[in-house]
Amino acid sequence: MVYQLPPWAALAPTLLFVAVALVLFVIDSINPDTENRLLLAATATAGSLAAAGVSVWYLLAGTGEAPIRLFQNTLVVDTMSLFFAFVFASVTALVVVASYDYMRDHSYQAEYYALVALAASGMTLMPAANSLAVVFISLELSSLPSYALVAILKRNRGSVEAGLKYFLIGALSSSILAYGISLVYAVSGSLLLPQVAEAASVEGLTGVLGIGVLMVLGGFAFKTASVPFHFWAPEAYEGAPAPVSAFLSSASKAAGFAVAFRVFTVAFPVETYVQTAAASIDWVLAVQILAVVTMTLGNFAAATQDTVKRMLAYSSVGHAGYALIGLAALTGGNDQFVLGASMAHLLVYGFMNTGAFLFIALAEYWSVGRTFEDYNGLATRAPFACAAMTVFMFSLAGLPPFGGFASKYLLFAGAVGAGFWWLAAVGAINSALSLYYYSRVVKAMWIEEPSSEFAIESKPVGLYAAIAAAAVATVLLLPGFAPVWEYAQSAAAALVA
């Protein structure tokens, strides 16, 4: 007889991250002044890879096909939560590997890796949350370590300032979210998402429920760095250590989307909330507004930046706008395609955006400088890394033959298929604009003459390995897009079908 794992084992990705964090604590408490960076990084890497491996294993084994409900249905493990767990775990692995070199001279090594692992455990919990209480807690579990991570360079004014701003905006947003949840609870009388869905039929309290829904949306908009809750993002991404920026802009953002996808499709389904006349809470329209504003503002602001890291920060705001299409193009029927496209985009984005920020980490490691001009002629000294960065830039812009092309194409195709051609049109125009600033980086690296000598002393193994892995994934995701698409579709089917 085949041995059947106990149901709680379905949470293995989360549990692995928690375990990693605890092991790191143990190591740190035994030897607080450890100089053994390799041990710490290896522990974190092993844990992340194990989490990613378990997610893939579960996906392949079909664990989530029949949703596993735990703790009185407050947590649910299905294809969608496993799909996102894989995204977070792989991004975490890349970030941790890159941090080995990046954090070489910094103190609080063990704390750093432990915080990353804790944030990751919160993120992997977010897509599985099936109760508004768990939603809030898991969101905070991923946010609180993030504040500390942004500010981890304690002697760097930028880092500390960014951390503080991030925390303040985060606190405000969390309060909005908590208030929203309380209003929703007031009407529905339940925190479980499937039961919240029934609140739409409550007469006379539409306004209260509507305000609650939109405030919940605001809370998620903070996590996904969508306009107007994005203000923290450019500052935090710029001030934070580059691997942390990568972590926040890829994994944390995806986690925000994951939880938003589940809450809005399960708790506030389009059929009852938007289309039924008795309680017209048109959150789809609100998301459409957010999507358009986010895409446009993110891309326009990115086009005028002088520093590469800040450009990437705004571009990641813009990408939040694209991913929002997954929610903004929901119609109540045939939503699987566009929702799945959005999830697939988040997966591809996880690799290409992480890779791009890790390249920034590499540039910071070499003290190359921050502006576009500082990158002039970098390809003459570091052709491999620059080639990888070119892959990331073109993939972010959505050009073939990279993964970003397929996911963005299908996302826009999904929007058109759902009847929201104008969303796709705005997205396409913004993509065209984004090509401008992405290619600025490529031009600087490959075409411009170096303005000064680069003091490149070494080629850090960890950073290079992480960048190479991200680049390979970005390239292979186009030919290998079929399985990603298949799993993204079944993940979306877990929510809307």
Partner 1 sequence: MAALSFELAPVIAALPFVSFLIALLAGAFAPRLLPKGGAIPGIAATAGSLLLSAWAALAVWNSSEGVYHESITWVAGVGDAAFDLHFGILLDPLSTMMLVIVSLVAVLVHVFSLGYMNDEGETGLPRYYAGLGLFTASMLSFVFASNLLMAFMFFELVGLCSWLLIGFHFREPGPPSAAKKAFLVTRFGDYFFLVGVVGVFATFGTTAFAGSESFPHLAEQVLAGEASATTFLGLDPQAWFAVLGLLVLGGVVGKSAQYPLHTWLPDAMEGPTPVSALIHAATMVAAGVYLVARMYGFYALLPQVLAFIAFVGGFTALFAASMGVVKKELKQVLAYSTISQYGYMMLGLGAGGYVAATFHLMTHAFFKALLFLGAGSVIIAMHHNENMWDMGGLKEKMPVTYYAFLSGSLALAGIVPFSGFWSKDEVLYEALVHGLDSPLLLGAYAMGLLAVFFTGFYTFRMVALTFHGDPRTDTARDPHGVGWNVKLPLVVLGTLAAVAGLVNMVPVAELTGAHLEFLHDWLDAGPEALTAHHYGDLLPYSSGTIGTELTTVLLSAGVSLGLALAGAGLAWKLYAVADPDEHTDKLGSAKTVLFNNYYQDEYQVWIATGLTLPLARAADKFDQGVIDGVVNGVSSVSLLSGSRVKRIQSGVVTNYAFLLTASLVVLLVAIGLIGGWF
Q: Is the CB of 362 or the CB of 433 nearer to partner 1?
A: 433
Q: Does 320 bind partner 1 (CB under 8 A)?
A: no
Tell me, residue by residue from 205 to 224, as one string, x for binding to partner 1 by CB under 8 A and - for no binding.
-xx--xx--xx--x------
Structure tokens at 177: 């979210």
Q: Binding partner 1 by CB under 8 A: which of 9, 46, 70, 282?
A: 282
Q: Which is nearer to partner 1, 206 or 334 (CB)?
A: 206
Q: Give CA angle at 196 (497, 167), nearest 5°.
A: 100
* Binding span for partner 1 by CB under 8 A among 53-61, 263-271, 282-290, 340-348: 282-290
Q: Annotate 215-284 with DSSP letters as a single string.
A: HHHHHHHHHHT-TTS-THHHHHHHHS-HHHHHIIIIIIHHHHHHHHHHIIIIIS-HHHHTSSGGG---HH
Helix (H) and strand (E) counts for the chain?
21, 2
Q: Can you tell me the distance from the alpha carbon of 485 to that of 497, in angstroms, rounded to the nearest whole number?
A: 16
Nearer to partner 1, 73 or 272 (CB): 272
**316 contributes a contact to partner 1 by CB under 8 A:** no
* Closer residue to partner 1, CB minimum distance, 234 or 321: 234
Would you say 467 and 385 are in contact if contact means Cβ atoms under 8 Å apart? yes
Reply yes or no: is the peptide bond before residue 194 cis, omega within 30 of 0.
no
Interface residue with partner 1 among 118, 286, 312, 463 (CB under 8 A) is: 286
Q: Per rule CB under 8 A, is residue 169 in the interface with partner 1?
A: yes
Tell which one of 172, 416, 465, 478 touches partner 1 (CB under 8 A). 172
- What kind and span of H or E run contains 69? strand 68-70
Nearer to partner 1, 65 or 306 (CB): 306
Angle at 439 between CA 437 and CA 444, to 5 degrees: 100
CB atoms inside a 10 Å sphere around CB 223:
29
Q: How far is the first Cα of the chain from the last one, in angstroms, to the nearest whole number?
A: 33
**Between residue 426 and residue 485, which ones bind partner 1 under the rule CB under 8 A?**
433, 436
409 binds partner 1 (CB under 8 A): no
Q: Which is nearer to partner 1, 175 or 451 (CB)?
A: 175
Rg (C-alpha) for the chain, rounded Å, is 21
Q: Which of residues 232, 237, 247, 405 is near partner 1 by CB under 8 A?
A: 232
Among 83, 88, 237, 283, binds partner 1 (CB under 8 A): 283
Residue 174 interacting with partner 1 (CB under 8 A): no
Contacting residue, 26, 61, 285, 447, with partner 1 by CB under 8 A: 285
Query: Which of 173, 265, 353, 490: binder of partner 1 (CB under 8 A)?
Result: 173
Cβ within 8 Å of residue 240, ≥6 positions away: 149, 150, 151, 152, 159, 162, 163, 248
Residue 88 · residue 124 · CB < 8 Å: yes
- How many whole angstroms separate alpha carbon 112 and alpha carbon 30? 16
Kindly identify the residues of this chain, within the stretch 64-93, that bind partner 1 according to CB under 8 A. Answer: none
Residue 192 three-state SS: strand
Asked if residue 201 binds partner 1 (CB under 8 A), the reply is no
> In this chain, which stretch among 61-69, 300-308, 455-463, 481-489 interacts with partner 1, using CB under 8 A?
300-308
The site for partner 1, by CB under 8 A, has a size of 38
Helix, strand, coil percentages for the chain (3-state, nearest 5): 75, 0, 20
Nearer to partner 1, 266 or 297 (CB): 297
Residue type, position 19, single letter? A
Question: Of residues 87, 149, 246, 297, which one binds partner 1 by CB under 8 A?
Answer: 297
Question: What 8-state DSSP symbol labels residue 265?
Answer: I
Residue 414 touches partner 1, criterion: CB under 8 A? no
Residue 406 contacts partner 1 per CB under 8 A: no
Q: Do β-strands 68-70 and 75-77 pair in parallel, antiparallel, or remain unpaired?
A: antiparallel
Pick the piece of the chain touching partner 1 (CB under 8 A) from 90-98, 125-133, 138-146, 232-240. Answer: 232-240
Sign of the C-alpha dihedral, residues 176, 177, 182, 188?
A: positive
> Between residues 231 and 409, which has the closer beta carbon with respect to partner 1?
231
Please give the residue ranges that form the binding site for partner 1 (CB under 8 A). Answer: 164-165, 168-169, 172-173, 176, 206-207, 210-211, 214-215, 218, 227-229, 231-232, 234-235, 280-283, 285-286, 289-290, 297, 300-305, 433, 436
